[in-house]
């Protein structure tokens, strides 16, 4: 049931640019983490992590980019904010996890493909409709994740309790077009960044696929 914890590989090359980038993008003073483990103690997802959250912080402190960006933990963090709330040094740990996720996406990692598919399908639904179309999202996810029947049993209770909305509730005005434009600009900026920082690599941005 539990995911085995990965050993820390201290022989990896230290990457000071990585440390600096995480500090800059998260706005956090990473050196003030003294590894008390309070974040891990309160994390509901520790049993599913390959590195407990305090060790993810240690990976960043040590500049172990490869281990930090390839780990599952950053994809399984639900941003419940228990770590951020309880850090005695006021580090916004959940924001650091977020920033690592952003970097992992850009670098092309996806050790939890289902989570990435869900996020991409969600944002594709927003880009297309201006709002999340829940039923459409569920259908797209079911197909793309390769688990088409997992939630099939929810259809009947949703239907009988009037929760199955088969058409999207789109914004009444210009909102839909404005949201699509936000995504289009974001995709352009992300593509520029990807070209500038790592030539040859494909950008990992939010909007994938055509949606439902």
Partner 1 sequence: MSAAPSNPLTLAYYPGCSQTGTAAEYDRSSRACCAALGVELVDVPDWTCCGSTPAHTVDHFLAGALAARNLLQAELAGHDRVTTPCPSCLAALRTASHHLAEAPAENGAPQDSGPNYRAEVERLLDRPAPLRATAVSVLQVLTEDVGVEAIASAVTRPLTGLRVAPYYGCIMNRPPGLMQFDDPENPTAMDRVLEACGATVVDYPFKTECCGAAFGMPRLDIMQRLSARLLDMAASCGVDAIVVACPLCQMNLDLRRGQVNAFSHSQGGTHHAMPVPYFTQLLGLALGLPESGLGLDKLVLPLGPALTAARAREDERIARTQAELAAKAARKNGTSANGNGSKENTPCA
Question: Does the footprint of partner 1 cover residue 201 (CB under 8 A)?
Answer: no
Query: Judged by CB under 8 A, which of 47, 108, 146, 148 binds partner 1?
Result: 47
DSSP assignment of 140-191: HHHHHTT-TTTTGGGHHHHHHTT----S----SSTHHHHHHHHHHHHHHHHH
The reply to whether 58 sits near partner 1 by the rule CB under 8 A is no
State how far the Cα of 64 lies from the Cα of 83, in Å rounded to an integer. 21
> In whole angstroms, what is the distance from residue 203 CA to residue 195 CA?
8
Chosen residue from 5, 36, 157, 197 binding partner 1 by CB under 8 A: 157
Kindly list the residues in this chain that would bind partner 1 in the complex (CB under 8 A): 23-27, 44-45, 47-48, 76, 78-82, 84-85, 92, 94, 98, 101-102, 105, 112, 114-115, 117-119, 122-123, 126, 130-135, 138, 141, 145, 150-151, 153-154, 157-158, 161-163, 165, 169, 171-176, 178-179, 181-183, 185-186, 189-190, 205-206
């Amino acid at each position: 049931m539990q995911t085995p914890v990965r050993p820390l590989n201290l022989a990896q090359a230290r990457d000071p640019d990585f440390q600096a980038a995480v500090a800059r993008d998260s706005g956090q003073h990473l050196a003030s983490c003294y590894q008390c483990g309070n974040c891990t103690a309160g994390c509901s997802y520790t049993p599913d992590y390959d590195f407990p959250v305090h060790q993810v912080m240690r990976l960043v402190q040590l500049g172990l980019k490869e281990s930090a960006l390839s780990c599952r933990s950053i994809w399984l963090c639900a941003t419940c904010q228990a770590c951020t709330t309880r850090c005695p040094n006021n580090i916004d740990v959940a924001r650091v996890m977020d920033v690592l996720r952003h970097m992992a996406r850009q670098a092309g990692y996806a050790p939890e493909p289902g989570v990435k598919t869900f996020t991409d399908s969600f944002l594709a639904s927003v880009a297309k409709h201006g709002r999340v179309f829940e039923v459409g999202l569920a259908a797209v996810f079911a197909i793309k994740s390769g688990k088409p029947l997992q939630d099939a049993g929810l259809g009947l209770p949703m239907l009988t309790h009037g929760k199955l909305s088969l058409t999207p509730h789109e914004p009444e005005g210009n909102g839909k077009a404005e949201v699509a434009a936000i995504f289009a600009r974001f995709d352009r900026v992300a593509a520029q960044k990807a070209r500038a920082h790592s030539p040859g690599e494909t950008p990992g941005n939010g909007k994938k696929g055509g949606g439902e």
